[in-house]
Structure 1
Amino acid sequence: MARTLWPVLLASAVGLLPFTVFSTYLVPIADEAGSSVAAMGGLRGLGGLAALLVGTALAPVIDRVPKEWAAAGALVALGASAALGASGDFLLLAAFCLLVGASTAVLNPALTAAAADRFGTGKAAGRAATLVTATTSMTAMLAAPVIALPALFWGWQGDLLGVTVVSLLLAAVFVARRRRADPDGEAVAHGPRLGYLASFKALAAVRGAVPVLLIGFLRTAVFMGYLSYLAAFYEERFDLDAGLFAFVWTLSGASFFVSNLLTGRLTNSAEPRFGTERMLAAGLVAALVSVVGFYFTHWLPLALAMTALHAASHAVVAACVVSLIVRRCGTTLRGSALSLNAAGQSLGVFAGAALGGAGLGLAGYPGTAVVFGALVVAALGAAVPVLRGAPKAGDV
């Protein structure tokens, strides 16, 4: 499966690199642009806003065109954005953030849907989709050191120009593969072609689709909000400096990657021991226990265990959400659903950080625990109709 999907997996990794370079080299980038770090860092929010708007607006369109064309177009836009960012100009860096957010809003769901389409509508499709998300999580963990080594030779500008080159090459690969698969360019989508508004209505009618998308949003809000204040918590409670906290970050990232990969395999195996819906509920329960317990622990080993458990539980939920979307929405709607899921995640990043900060400001870390715990409880509530709609004779 990995050999078949290698361009998809590589493209999913490349999609993370522009903002990773931006975050890693924020200080020298701000110096180059003659801006403050605060002002430059604020531009990152433009990418999330663009991802939310573009992902929602273009959700039905992804299923109306070949996924490879959508991915190729997004890669070209991503490459152009990286080239703009390499200029170091403040206005062009603002355009860079907007364009990266917009391009990844199309790229990520197109890649996930394309991977699933290669293997039909069954469990193999769900496994292919979760393989893409697992690759993305692994890249998020390893991207910083990967880009840091080349930057020693050509600087952060060289990293961005390298992203431009790789993105354009991958776009050409997707175009070539699509032409070989469909030389006449006639096959656009499997099944009937739905209109723009009809796609939203059809998606709302899919069993459990709306609750699953809501769970994806709430899960992201909890996890990304939790990560926003993770370093501050470890520094305040356990006096860990940035160097030692890097190990905590690695623990969290490794836990997420391994759990995401294994969950994708287990829930999409030929004879799974546990249904995907039950795994989803179990992951949410573990997330609730770990996020609330984390903020009340004062023993470092227990805090580290909670950190690993929390990351692993979110990986379980994320893999189950993608698997359910892919298997329940079919080839005619999965691109739209995955695009809305990605847009919900963009919104979740902002909501989680804002709500977590409000809880922290009002009642300290216990307040943060209450806020994130309440969001997980809401996700458990959304999981009830998903569990009720689960197939009785095996997970479908």
Structure 2
Amino acid sequence: MARALWPVLLASAVGLLPFTIFSTYLVPIAHDAGSSVAAMGGLRGLGGLAALLVGTALAPLIDRVPREWAAAGGLVALGASAALGASGDFVLLAVFCLLVGAGTSVLNPALTAAAADRFGTGKAAGRAATLVTAVQSMTAMLAAPLVALPALFWGWQGDLVAVTAVSVLLAAVLLARRGSTKGDRAAAAEEQRLGYLASFKALGAKPGVVPLLLIGMARTAVFMGYLAYLAAFYDERFQLDPGLFAFVWTLSGAAFFVSNLLTGRLTNADRPRIATERLLVIGLFAALASVVGFYFTHWLPLALALTAVHAASHAVVAACVVSLLVRRCGTLRGSALSLNAAGQSLGVFVGAALGGAGLGLAGYPGAALAFGALVVVALAAAFLAGRSGTAGEQAP
């Protein structure tokens, strides 16, 4: 499967690089642009806003063009943004952030849908989709050292220029591979005749889709909000400096990657040992227990264990949501995945805001309450999604 999907997997990895470079070299980028670190860092929020707006607005259109065309368009946008960002100009760096957010909001769902389409509408499609998300999580864990080493030779500007070149090359490869899917083209053509608003209505009518999108948003809010204050927690409670905290970050990333990869295989096996809907609920209960317990522990080994469990539980939930959306939405899977990505962008803002409010009002117990409440909301949505069972999934 990985051999068949190598351009898609590589493109999904490249999609994470522009903002990784921006975050890694924020200080020198701000210096070269004649700006403060605070002002430059604030531009990152433009990307999330663009991803939310563009992802939602273009969701019905993802299924109206070949997946490879949509993915190639996203890659071209990424390449253009990287070229603009390499200039070092503050205004062009703002455009860079907007274009990266807009480009990834199209690129990621298009790539995930393209991977699923290549293997039809059954469980193999769900396994292919979760393979894409697993590669993305692995890239998030390894991207910083991967971009840091080349930058020793050509600087952060050279990294962005390299992203431009690779993005354009991959766009050409994806366009050349157009048409190698096993999807039901007749059904796709029928659904493509739906109007813009009718596409949203048809997607909402799919069994369990709306609750699944809510789970995706709430899960992201919890995990990203938790990660936003993770370094501060380890510094305050266990006096871990940034060098030692890097190992905590690696632990969390590795747990997420391994769990996401294994869950994708488990839930999409020909004869799964446990239903995807049930595993989704188990993952959410594990997320609830680990995030609440984490903020009340004062023993470092236990905190590390809960950090790994929490990342792994979120990976389980993420893989289950993607698998169910792919299997239940059929030819509208591109639209569903685009809305899921937009919801995740919203979740980043919600998680940071609620986590900060809880922390400010009641310290770490307040953060535990805020994140725990979000998981409870996701659990309620999971029970609603589970009521539709396998009836809403597409037959293999």
TM-score bin (small chain): over 0.9
Supply the AA of the counterpart residue of 2:288.
Answer: L
Map residues 128-207 of structure 1 onto 2, 5 A cutoff: 128-178=128-178, 181=180, 189=188, 191-193=190-192, 194-207=194-207
| Residues 276 and 395 in structure 1, CA contact (< 8 A), matched pair in contact too | no
Distance 1:262 1:236 in 2: 34
| Residues 20 and 144 in structure 1, CA contact (< 8 A), matched pair in contact too | yes
Task: Show the counterpart of 1:52.
Answer: 52
Task: Show the counterpart of 1:324.
Answer: 324
Supply the AA of the counterpart residue of 1:248.
Answer: V
Task: Show the counterpart of 1:14.
Answer: 14
Distance 1:5 1:273 in 2: 26
Distance 1:343 1:395 in 2: 24
Distance 1:37 1:394 in 2: 48
Deviation (angstroms), 1:171: 0.4
- SS of corresponding position for 2:389: coil
Map residues 252-271 of structure 1 onto 2, 5 A cutoff: 252-271=252-271
Distance 1:18 1:192 in 2: 34
Distance 2:175 2:227 in 1: 37
- SS of corresponding position for 2:191: coil
Task: Show the counterpart of 1:39.
Answer: 39
Supply the AA of the counterpart residue of 2:283.
Answer: G
- SS of corresponding position for 2:215: helix
| Residues 53 and 343 in structure 1, CA contact (< 8 A), matched pair in contact too | yes
Deviation (angstroms), 1:385: 1.3
Task: Show the counterpart of 1:353.
Answer: 352
Deviation (angstroms), 1:386: 1.3
- SS of corresponding position for 1:4: coil
- SS of corresponding position for 2:62: helix
| Residues 64 and 188 in structure 1, CA contact (< 8 A), matched pair in contact too | no
Distance 1:53 1:281 in 2: 30
Residues 9 and 393 of structure 1: CA distance in aligned 2, closer, same or farther (over 3 Å): closer
Deviation (angstroms), 1:192: 3.1
- CA distances 1:2-39 after superposition (whole Å, capped 9, x unpaired): 00000000000000000000000000000000000000
Q: Structure 1-normalised TM-score?
A: 0.97
Deviation (angstroms), 1:181: 4.7
Deviation (angstroms), 1:278: 0.3
Deviation (angstroms), 1:372: 0.2
Residues 190 and 255 of structure 1: CA distance in aligned 2, closer, same or farther (over 3 Å): farther
Residues 75 and 312 of structure 1: CA distance in aligned 2, closer, same or farther (over 3 Å): same
| Residues 51 and 105 in structure 1, CA contact (< 8 A), matched pair in contact too | yes
Distance 2:376 2:98 in 1: 33
Map residues 167-316 of structure 1 onto 2, 5 A cutoff: 167-178=167-178, 181=180, 189=188, 191-193=190-192, 194-316=194-316
Supply the AA of the counterpart residue of 2:142.
Answer: L
Distance 1:54 1:159 in 2: 26
- SS of corresponding position for 1:3: coil
Deviation (angstroms), 1:392: 8.0
Supply the AA of the counterpart residue of 2:17.
Answer: L
Distance 2:233 2:118 in 1: 43
| Residues 67 and 114 in structure 1, CA contact (< 8 A), matched pair in contact too | yes
Matched residue pairs, number? 391
Deviation (angstroms), 1:60: 0.2
Supply the AA of the counterpart residue of 1:313.
Answer: S
Distance 1:27 1:226 in 2: 24
- CA distances 1:40-99 after superposition (whole Å, capped 9, x unpaired): 000000000000000000000000000000001111111000000000000000000000
| Residues 12 and 111 in structure 1, CA contact (< 8 A), matched pair in contact too | yes
Q: Structure 2-normalised TM-score?
A: 0.97
Distance 2:128 2:19 in 1: 25
Distance 1:71 1:253 in 2: 26
| Residues 225 and 352 in structure 1, CA contact (< 8 A), matched pair in contact too | yes
- CA distances 1:269-305 after superposition (whole Å, capped 9, x unpaired): 0000000000000000000000000000000000000
